[in-house]
A and B are shown apart, each in its own frame.
Chain A
Amino acid sequence: MKLQIASHLAIYALLELAAQPERQLSVAEIGQKYDISSHHLAKVMNVLGRAKMVRAVRGAGGGYQFAGNARRITLLEVIQLFEDLGDVRSEPGGSRDSTAEGRALRQILGEIDDITRATLGSITIVTMLKLVDRKRAKGPARLQPSRSVDAESV
């Protein structure tokens, strides 16, 4: 499954802030860790702020602070702020989709949509932080050199 880059940035920023919720971080500080442009990240932070997942702190040393409930915010809620995951069954079908073959295919694709939603909807920010800790304890991953990062759709 592929996500829009904004969804990735939002998840990274929330993980960074929720790991130490009393701390405030600037867009530049978060951006530096993940090699993200401040301009792009600022737009993402605005959306997270409107969703009350982060809070802007003004003044010297200002930045952003985590403001949500890390035990309740799920990846699905974050991703849906930036993109529509869609559901093949709710999309208007063409004439070929109303055939038995089309309906059978839509049923299978619908199963995949359901599993995607259930998975993303069950992973909270706290669960992700625990997962990050386990990955960190295992040491750095070996990157696969053949994989390239698509800037539009990571």
Chain B
Amino acid sequence: MAVEKLLAAKPDRHTAISSSGRRRLKLPLQIRAAEAVDLVAVIALDERITGVNKREYWDEMFARYGKIRPKGGFFLVAESGDRKSHGRVLGFIIGEVRAWEFGSAPCGWVFALSVAPEARLHGVGEALFEALSAEFKNAGVNKMRTMVARDNRLTLMFFRGEGMMAGPYIELEKDID
């Protein structure tokens, strides 16, 4: 897979100099397609973050994006390459190419992203995002979209930091009487 090539080339711990000049320690990582054995860790991580166990949902997500690996669908995990926690799932991201919804030309939708709290600010989310972005590019799309709750400041800051801007669509909803 393209993502494995992308990150396997630099598995060592390294530092990156941010725009602010601060050095951020990046964890040694491998980004790869999710496998069935990762599901337990994915479900546990999601439950830690959201407080809800959604086993059936994640089984379905894996069946749809992990197992058959459809063209344009990607379920990636970030696995620790650190000696102490080698192989531990530190985060995951899911996305797929969608076309012509509401007239939109094919684009990559990011609809799940989670990073273990203790692994945050070490480049895990960024590596997952970049890997998914590379997959979308290989799939022939040049735009990514996502949707974030207005009050989810941390996630909004993350996506903004990755260069995402307001898009041409406005999300609307209504209570069904």
Q: Considering only CB atoms and an 8 Å cut-off, how many residues of chain B contact the other chain?
A: 16
Q: Interface residue tally of chain A, by bracket?
A: 20 to 34
Residue of A115, A122, A126, A129 with highest tally of chain B CB at under 10 A: A122
| Interface assignment of B85: CB less than 8 Å from any CB of chain A | no
Whether B20 contacts A125 by the Cβ 8 Å rule is yes
Whether A121 contacts B153 by the Cβ 8 Å rule is yes
Within 8 A of A (CB), among B47-91: none
Whether A71 contacts B20 by the Cβ 8 Å rule is yes
Report the stretch among B108-116, B132-140, B156-164 that lies at the interface: B156-164
Could you tell me the distance between the alpha carbons of A19 and B163 in the complex, rounded to whole angstroms?
17
Residue of A nearest to B24 (CB): A71
Whether B151 contacts A118 by the Cβ 8 Å rule is yes
CB contact under 8 A between A21 and B22, given known A122-B160, A123-B160, A124-B161? yes
Could you tell me the distance between the alpha carbons of A20 and B18 in the complex, rounded to whole angstroms?
11
Could you tell me the distance between the alpha carbons of A127 and B156 in the complex, rounded to whole angstroms?
11
Whether A71 contacts B18 by the Cβ 8 Å rule is yes
Residue of A nearest to B21 (CB): A21
Residue of A nearest to B151 (CB): A118
Whether B156 contacts A118 by the Cβ 8 Å rule is yes
Could you tell me the distance between the alpha carbons of A59 and B100 in the complex, rounded to whole angstroms?
62
With a CB–CB cut-off of 8 A, which chain A residues contact B37?
none
Whether A124 contacts B160 by the Cβ 8 Å rule is yes
User: What are 6 A-B pairs with beta-carbon distances under 8 A?
Assistant: A19-B19, A20-B21, A69-B20, A71-B18, A71-B161, A130-B163
Q: Name B's A-contacting residues (CB within 8 A).
A: 18-22, 121, 150-151, 153, 156-157, 159-161, 163, 166
Q: What would 8 more interface pairs be, CB under 8 Å, given A74-B157, A126-B19?
A: A18-B19, A19-B19, A21-B22, A121-B156, A124-B161, A126-B161, A127-B160, A133-B19
Q: Name A's B-contacting residues (CB within 8 A).
A: 18-22, 66, 69-71, 74, 114-115, 118-119, 121-127, 129-131, 133-134
